[in-house]
Amino acid sequence: MAISLEQMVSLAGIAGEVMLKNGAETYRIEATMDHMAKACGASKVESFVIPTGVFLTVTDEVGRTLTVMRRVRNRTINLDRISKVNELSRRLVAQRIEYEDAKRILEGISKERTGFSLLPSMLASGAIGGGTAVLQNALFFEIAAAFTAAMIVRYIAHLVSKLRGVQFTFEFLGGMAVALCGVLLHSLWPHLRPDAVIIGGIMPLVPGVAITNAIRDVIAGDLLSGLSRGLEAALTSVAVAMGVVIVLSFKV
Amino acid sequence: MLALKIMAVLLISVSVGILYRIPRRLLIYVSFVGVVAWLIMYNTMRLGGSGILADFLASVAVGIMSEILARVLKKPATIFIIPGFIPLVPGGDAYMTMLYMVEGHYVDGVAKGMQTILTAGAIAFGIFVSSTIFQLIKNYNLESRWQDVRKS
């Protein structure tokens, strides 16, 4: 069964869009789109991905060419989806799956709710904060406060994403909330230090995906994406630091 | 005390995995990467190495383990790298920088800030180095395979 040019382009385009939306590296998105389109019978594929959009040009055996562009606005982090699209692309290349099934699975991946709901992610965030406080040799109540602060951070993330806040709002507000928790604890019980609470609380705000992708994009030679993701990581860190600094300077 | 800290690192790595929504059955590998990397950092510091060296060695280990796991399990390496390096992040240094700056000790603040940036850079370059090594190995294998084809 022959797959039409439009179908190839739409399949590879959706795959690229899903991967970019969920935080994959640039070269992985480009390679996945190339592989998927070639597995469907394209003779030539050119792809170009930047952190805010996907461009794809496919040529079929007859020599017809089609280009699509997909703009990606709201990006989240969901490594599960990336790994699923990766798996799907491998199966498609190995010819273990038909076009219709691939398309259906891909649309399922882009719509399904994966991962954990609010409470488990709050607990996970709290565990990051509490664990970091343990590494700082904190006292028991400081660890508990760090756990709470990190949980609040996750709740703020939930609120901000619901209200479609601009970028860096969440990091700034998170830093402020954490510092407030630390300062509040110190003023209520002066023998407890705010240090471990704040250090633990800002840990879930570390832009892990941005840092990793920036490094890996630069290694792969995607300098444009590498630079912009590096800048994203730097600005995120600055937003967190400013949130903390502003609250701390009230205290002094 | 060390056992408690290892438990904490394990918890951090798994929680980062949950927060970034990595596939659930990979959480066990992720926690392994995190604990090994943190132990390397801890022991380097205990033997008198600087924080920068310790973080560099640990993040090279994160990179190598992640690339191997990625090839064995056929998953993106990013999944293993992120939870592996989060316990290494110099949060304490970053906090001290902010505190010095707020209190007006700018000289101390800049010194501490420089240390924080260099430590973070060491983590980034550790991952950079190990990923580059794997890229070179892959290119070498491709090259030799290509030469075999040409000979035959």
The pLDDT of residue A116 is 65
pLDDT tens digits, A137-152: 888 888 999 999 999 9
The pLDDT of residue A128 is 92
- Whether residue A151 sits in one domain with residue A240: yes
- Whether residue A246 sits in one domain with residue A148: yes
Confidence of residue A114 (pLDDT cuts 50, 70, 90): low
| Chain A hits for B20, Cβ within 8 Å | 77-79, 208-209
Mean of pLDDT values over B97-119: 92
| Chain B hits for A135, Cβ within 8 Å | 5, 8-9, 87
Evaluate if residue B2 carries a pLDDT over 90.
Answer: no
Both tokens of A41, joined, read 């019978």
- Whether residue A203 sits in one domain with residue A137: yes
Query: Which residue among A91, A111, A131 closes a domain?
Result: A111
Query: Which residue among A55, A85, A111 closes a domain?
Result: A111
Average pLDDT, chain B: 89
Q: Which residue among A82, A134, A237 sits closest to B76, beta carbon to beta carbon?
A: A82
Subunit contact A131:B19, Cβ cutoff 8 A? no
Query: Which residue among A111, A137, A153 closes a domain?
Result: A111
| Chain A hits for B83, Cβ within 8 Å | 208
The pLDDT of residue B49 is 85
Helix A169-188 to helix A195-202 angle, to the nearest 10 degrees?
Answer: 160
Both tokens of B144, joined, read 């030799």
Evaluate if residue B22 carries a pLDDT over 90.
Answer: no
The pLDDT of residue A252 is 58
Choice between B79 and A166, residue whose per-residue pLDDT is larger: B79
The pLDDT of residue A168 is 85
- Whether residue A132 sits in one domain with residue A66: no
Subunit contact B12:A86, Cβ cutoff 8 A? no
Confidence of residue A164 (pLDDT cuts 50, 70, 90): confident
Evaluate if residue B60 carries a pLDDT over 70.
Answer: yes
Subunit contact B18:A124, Cβ cutoff 8 A? yes
Average pLDDT, chain A: 87
The pLDDT of residue A1 is 53
Phi, psi of A65 (to 5 degrees): -125, 140
Confidence of residue A251 (pLDDT cuts 50, 70, 90): low
Minimum distance, in Å, between the CA of residue B50 and any CA atom of chain A = 17
Confidence of residue A38 (pLDDT cuts 50, 70, 90): confident
3-state SS assignment for residue A220: helix
Subunit contact B81:A115, Cβ cutoff 8 A? no
The pLDDT of residue B149 is 67
The pLDDT of residue A73 is 82
Both tokens of A73, joined, read 């606005």
| Chain A hits for B102, Cβ within 8 Å | 245, 248-249, 252
- Whether residue A243 sits in one domain with residue A134: yes
- Whether residue A178 sits in one domain with residue A228: yes
Residue span of the structural domain in which A62 resides:
5-111
The pLDDT of residue A249 is 87
- Whether residue A58 sits in one domain with residue A151: no
Count of domains observed in chain A: 2
d(CA A192, CA A184): 10
CB B120 within 8 A of CB B58: no
**Helical H segments across chain B, by residue range:** 2-19, 27-46, 51-73, 78-85, 91-103, 106-151
Mean pLDDT comparison of A71-80, B103-112, B139-148, highest-scoring range = B103-112
Residue B9 at interface with chain A, using a CB cutoff of 8 Å: yes
The pLDDT of residue B152 is 56
d(CA A7, CA B123): 43
- Whether residue A170 sits in one domain with residue A104: no
Could you tell me the pTM of the whole model? Answer: 0.86
Evaluate if residue A87 carries a pLDDT over 60.
Answer: yes
d(CA B66, CA B128): 12
Confidence of residue B131 (pLDDT cuts 50, 70, 90): confident
pLDDT tens digits, A6-37: 888 888 999 999 999 888 889 889 999 998 88
Sign of CA dihedral A164, A27, A209, A214: negative
Pick the closest to residue B80 from B129, B125, B13 (CA basis).
Answer: B13
